[in-house]
Amino acid sequence: MRIDSPGGSSIASDVIWRELTVTKNEKPGRPLVASMSDLAASGGYYVAMAAPLIVAQPATLTGSIGIFGGKFVTGGAFEKIGANIEGVIIGRNAGLESPDRPFTESERQKLREQIGSFYKGFVEKVAASRKLPVERVEELAQGRVWTGAQAHGRGLVDALGGLDRAIALAKERAGIAPETVVEVVTYPARRTLAELLIEELTGGGEDRQMEAVISVLGGLRTAELRALGMLTAPARLFNPGEPLALMPYGF
């Protein structure tokens, strides 16, 4: 299982973790290996801990065992443009996620309880999966982010390496000869260069006519080929399996 995720929905993470755990328990002899790419933080690490063996790159951003919550209050912004929000709420905390006003004290306390409950469960799951005392996991948790090398030294990761290393370990555990060629299935399906360019330039990949034109590279002029080369240059700067991190507004 390849993971490249900074986390996100606590519910989605828990659903994925459960399905992986069921898959692992149904056939104990079937190895489950998690391979961390650029990122496996928070929810990304949550799903990884379902695997008995976790492999990370030395520079993978991982850990971030923690959870936070809140909301953006936009009611004042809507008032400035003459819009009005009204709601019908039944129950003391039913409007907890309403964007038109801040939390009431009761709602704030309920949110704290929800966050605390999930965080406690997160720490306990890590302790069980990594065979560490809860107190030790608490020292490593609290939202701290580690590199893969640091996580390896702290027991959060079992081995260092890329996807090839993870596949080799999976073969070993499954009793498959190292020289045997195996099929790696990628989800979702890889997109063509034309589809990626269309999505980047137009915000969507639905223009099939444009895709057909771009795909006929033989018909492009020298200047157009040069422009295409400039657009794809970043992808040629790195080696397969090398960890990358895409930061906001930069490559």
How many whole angstroms separate alpha carbon 230 and alpha carbon 173?
A: 43
DSSP code string of 7-43: ---HHHHHHHHHHHHHHHHH-TTS--EEEEEEEEETH
The DSSP symbol for 99 reads T
The active-site residue, picked from 35, 42, 64, 129, is: 42
CA dist 73 to 68, 77, 79, 85, Å?
Answer: 16, 9, 12, 12
Annotated catalytic residue 42: yes
β-bridge partners, 146: 62
What CA dihedral angle connects 231, 234, 240 and 242, to 10 degrees?
A: -150
CA 3 to chain centre: 6
DSSP state of 95: T
Question: Three-class SS of residue 146?
Answer: strand
What's the rounded Cα separation, in Å, for the pair 191 and 58? 28
What are the catalytic residues? 42
